[in-house]
């Protein structure tokens, strides 16, 4: 029954995120908010909504705080190794100058900061506030760079009637909360059934499920040869996950470090470092197909190791 609940929960999360994005972007366009601003706020927040809601639900219960941490660390791992790897195998991913200078380095710095913060044994409320300040700075920098150098055209969002927007937003939020309420206890029960920690379930099953929107978006973008969108989607999600979602979770309740967290954070940071190395290994500043394959194989090796240590 727990497996059915967790699948239903993931379906609700994905549907809820889509409803929320559609309703909020339609309402924003109705009030003449520029497409670029909608893309950088509403849509960006929407793709991280599954992680955010699952984490908030997990953070409120002291028994499930492991899921709040491992969901984010696992999601960032899957984003980098699996989603970016799969997208690069489909079509080589070319990076933009702004991503190379700001976003990709920040996605590497994120897990390093978490590692240093949790040397005390937990991610405290103060740590969460510091991360939120980092996030505010990132958003300010992103807006400034996008306005001065709009190197990617934003999607053309369509205005929507207010009542329809509100209905979609309310339905989306309800689906997100409902999905999270199903996933967190189901994941805990599955972990207990196998005699393993909730941290392992959070790092794998929960993280994969909450990363499904990024997977779909990036692979489709790669198939359409819009590789810059695939890269921006993954890197942006990684930054949002750590500096917004994990930060908000820590502000609600301090998050104790879990077993093997140090290794997981090192692997997460190593993924971003590999992306940087792959990009600077050629004149096109791209992640080629062989790089994508290396990312996928590296995650497979990590997963085998993780399972073997249970």
Predicted confidence (pLDDT) per residue in 5-42, tens digit: 888 888 888 888 788 878 888 888 888 777 656 665 67
Higher pLDDT, 95 or 301: 301
Quick: pLDDT tens for 98-146. Answer: 788 888 899 999 999 999 999 999 999 999 999 999 999 988 887 787 7
Closest CA to 211 of 2, 59, 13: 13
Q: Is pLDDT at 247 greater than 80 in this prediction?
A: yes
Compute the Cα dihedral for 80, 212, 56, 170 and give only its sign. Answer: positive
Q: Which domains does the chain have, with CATH numbers?
A: 2-308 (1.20.1420.30)
Strand partners, 287: 93
The answer to whether residues 87 and 235 touch, using CB atoms and an 8 Å cutoff, is no
In whole angstroms, what is the distance from residue 45 CA to residue 126 CA?
23
Place of tokens 């999607």: 155
60 burial (CB, 10 Å; 0-12 / 13-18 / 19+) is middle
> 43 pLDDT band (50/70/90 cuts)?
low
Pick from 7, 1, 39: nearest CA to 206 = 7
Rounded distance between C-alpha atoms, residue 205 and residue 207, angstroms = 6
Taken in order 92, 94, 99, 101, the sign of the CA dihedral is positive
* pTM more than 0.85: no
Tell me the mean pLDDT in the region 161-169: 87
φ, ψ for residue 257 (rounded to 5)?
-65, 150
pLDDT at 294 over 80: yes
* Stretch 226-236: mean pLDDT: 76
Residues 253-265, mean pLDDT to the nearest whole number? 91
């Amino acid at each position: 029954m727990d497996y059915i609940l967790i699948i239903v929960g993931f379906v609700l999360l994905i549907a809820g995120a889509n409803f929320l994005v559609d309703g909020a972007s339609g309402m924003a366009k109705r009030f003449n908010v520029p497409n670029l601003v909608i893309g950088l706020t509403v849509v960006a927040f929407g793709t991280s909504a599954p992680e955010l809601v699952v984490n908030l639900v997990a953070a409120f219960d002291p028994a499930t705080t492991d899921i709040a941490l491992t969901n984010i660390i696992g999601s960032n791992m899957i984003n980098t190794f699996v989603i970016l790897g799969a997208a690069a195998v489909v079509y080589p991913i070319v990076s933009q100058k702004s991503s190379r200078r700001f976003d990709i380095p920040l996605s590497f710095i994120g897990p390093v900061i978490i590692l240093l913060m949790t040397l005390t044994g937990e991610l405290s409320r103060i740590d969460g506030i510091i991360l939120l300040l980092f996030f505010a700075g990132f958003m300010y920098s992103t807006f400034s760079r996008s306005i001065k150098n709009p190197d990617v055209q934003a999607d053309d969002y369509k205005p929507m009637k207010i009542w329809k927007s509100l209905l979609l937003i309310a339905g989306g939020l309800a689906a997100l909360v409902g999905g999270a309420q199903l996933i967190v206890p189901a994941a805990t029960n599955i972990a207990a059934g196998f005699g393993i920690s909730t941290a392992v379930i959070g790092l794998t099953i929960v993280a994969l499920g909450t990363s499904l929107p990024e997977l779909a978006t990036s692979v489709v973008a790669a198939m359409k040869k819009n590789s810059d969108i695939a890269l921006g989607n993954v890197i942006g999600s990684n930054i949002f996950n750590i500096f917004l979602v994990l930060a908000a979770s820590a502000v609600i309740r301090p998050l104790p470090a879990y077993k093997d967290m140090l290794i997981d954070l090192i692997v997460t940071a190593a993924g971003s470092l590999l992306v940087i190395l792959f990009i600077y290994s050629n004149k096109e500043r791209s992640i080629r197909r062989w790089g994508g394959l290396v990312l996928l194989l590296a995650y497979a090796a990590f997963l085998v190791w993780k399972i073997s240590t249970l």
